[in-house]
Structure 1
Amino acid sequence: MFQTELYHVFKSFTLPLVAAGAILSSTAQAHFQMLYTPDLLRERGGQITLKMPFTHPAASGHVMTAETPQSFYKIRKGKKTDLTDAIKPISWTSAENTGPAYEADVKLRGLGDHVFVMEPAPYYEESEDKYIQQITKTIVNVGSLPTDWNEELGLKTEIVPLSKPYAIYEGGTFVAVVKSEGKPVPFAEIEVEYLNYEPDLDNNSFAKDPKITPPADAFITMTIIADANGTFTFGLPKAGQWGFAALEVGPEKEYKGKNLSQDAVIWVQAHPIK
């Protein structure tokens, strides 16, 4: 009831940028396509590994059985490099199960932003009788030289940063706009989760112990609503990586005769103040 009334308030008024997205509670764990490497801000390039489990990162939850990604590539200074052939199957272990996942070893050459994009195959969620496809971005910067971080990539749907997703202080804010086929999505619903269980890259698993203890289940998956221009702001209270998933914002609504939730996902990193 409260969420419905609040949604109509958002529909009736254009929220200012700084107030975009009142936080709503959710006790369900959110699906999140991960595209993970530990450091999104690096002094030098070199070899990195990106892990791609489809899981529930805030709670070390169930690892879904995902098919081979449809595409995986990198954008740097406007140039696209296909990395699909670098994808390798792995298994990923959470507190609940071990499931199939993927990884890719790639080399970062040159300063600037390396924007990685992974488009997974749609996943059938039996409990909801629908498919989910989360088009995911992770931006890795080398040398603190900004290049492509705020560029729109022409994806079916994407979250376009308005603040550098790799250069945020703990306690700072992440600002972005949700787009579908290049157009802002008014009042988009965005789920937010903290990567609360540190990924163990050597063992392809989450750590056994969480980094924080949420004060209530409502903090496992938080939901915010973008403003009338598709823009949202979220404060990052804890250092680490945070995932943002804008739900059902893509243009494709059906797959294999069933409903399709085509989502836009981005991962950002907050850094501690020492």
Structure 2
Amino acid sequence: MPPFLRAGLLTASLLAASASAHFQELIPSSSLVTDQGPAELELALTFTHPMERGPAMAMGQPVQFGVLGPAGHQDLRDRLVLHQVDGQPNFLARYRITRPGDYLFYVEPAPYWEPGEGKMIVHYTKVVVDAYGYQEGWDADVGFPVEIEPLVRPFGLWTGNLFQGIVKQDGQPVPFAEVEVEWKNDGSVEAPADAFVTQVIRADANGLFSYAMPRAGWWGFAALLEAETPMTNPEGDKVPVELGALIWVNARDMK
């Protein structure tokens, strides 16, 4: 192979890798706690590429990690335990549910410097767990600067159900926001082309987006917005900031 062609292919490969969608995962061991199920949850916090099954990126100590439940906000940062994923530091946590309610677990990770894209990344992420059939409060806002408000109850969903949400920034809908969607691949699916890895949706003029989940498992919805104020990267330069509003939703096959 001619050297110039080899260099071109290498450059294209590096660009493709840097363009892969980053998703902050916040995955509980179950989206439902029932009378027959365990009351203790394990939550995995991983910054990765879900559909491609990695590689994971290094997470710094989260700025916020907590739950909004029947008792209000609870800070859970003291429950975070370092956990290696692909040789990179990520986190696990445990939480025991003792009363009925809808529990909105959330994380504001430390800003992540992505040199391939020349920007800092902060993905404000949440997931809802329903306990003992309470089914109220699942549409509450955590209070993040960017957030997805679910219009569909984000648990107890069948494969093929339509999930809808509103992208909001500073509490207001964001017209025509771009939303990336990825499935947390369990290894059973190989994307036939790069275009199948990340699904891309454009919200409407009211910030509303819709997506029908075609397979059982965890689905991440990430609305990507640019912050008004830049951040300083590790080299001391002022750079743009990608603010991600993420919500994770689980679908099950109807058997």
| TM-score class normalised by the smaller sequence | 0.7 to 0.9
Residue by residue over 1:48-74, the C-alpha shift from the partner in whole angstroms, topping out at 9 and shown as x without a partner, is 111111000110122111211001110
Q: Write out aligned runs for 1:237-256 (5 A).
A: 237-248=214-225, 251-256=227-232
Q: Does 1:85 align with 2:78?
A: yes
Amino acid at match of 1:259: P
Checking the alignment, whether the CA contact within 8 Å between 2:42 and 2:94 is kept in structure 1 is yes
- Aligned counterpart, 1:272: 253
Bigger Rg over Cα: 2
2:203 to 211, 220, 226: 226
Q: Which has the higher contact order (CA 8 A, sep 6+)?
A: 1
Amino acid at match of 1:260: V
Residue by residue over 1:18-50, the C-alpha shift from the partner in whole angstroms, topping out at 9 and shown as x without a partner, is xxxxxxxx9942100011123212214621111
Amino acid at match of 2:189: I
Q: Write out aligned runs for 1:129-144 (5 A).
A: 129-144=118-133
Distance in 1 of aligned mates of 2:189 and 2:83: 27
Aligned residues between the structures: 232
Checking the alignment, whether the CA contact within 8 Å between 1:117 and 1:136 is kept in structure 2 is yes
Amino acid at match of 1:113: D
Q: Does 1:31 align with 2:27?
A: no
- CA drift at 1:83: 0.6
Distance in 1 of aligned mates of 2:55 and 2:189: 19
Q: Write out aligned runs for 1:57-76 (5 A).
A: 57-76=50-69
Distance in 2 of aligned mates of 1:146 and 1:216: 39
Q: Given the superposition, is the C-alpha separation of residues 78 and 262 from structure 1 closer, same or farther in structure 2, using an over 3 Å criterion?
A: farther
- CA drift at 1:195: 0.5
Question: TM-score normalised to the size of structure 1?
Answer: 0.81
Q: Does 1:179 align with 2:168?
A: yes
2:33 to 42, 46, 49: 42
Distance in 1 of aligned mates of 2:193 and 2:160: 20
1:59 match: secondary structure: coil
- CA drift at 1:194: 0.4
Runs of 5+ unmatched residues, structure 2: 1-15, 233-237
Runs of 5+ unmatched residues, structure 1: 1-25, 198-209
Q: CA RMSD in A?
A: 1.7
Checking the alignment, whether the CA contact within 8 Å between 1:77 and 1:147 is kept in structure 2 is no
Checking the alignment, whether the CA contact within 8 Å between 1:78 and 1:148 is kept in structure 2 is no
- CA drift at 1:114: 0.5
Percent identity, aligned pairs only?
A: 38
Amino acid at match of 1:172: N
Distance in 1 of aligned mates of 2:33 and 2:120: 36
Distance in 2 of aligned mates of 1:272 and 1:253: 43
Distance in 1 of aligned mates of 2:191 and 2:100: 37
Q: Does 1:53 align with 2:46?
A: yes
Checking the alignment, whether the CA contact within 8 Å between 2:106 and 2:142 is kept in structure 1 is no
Distance in 1 of aligned mates of 2:148 and 2:71: 17
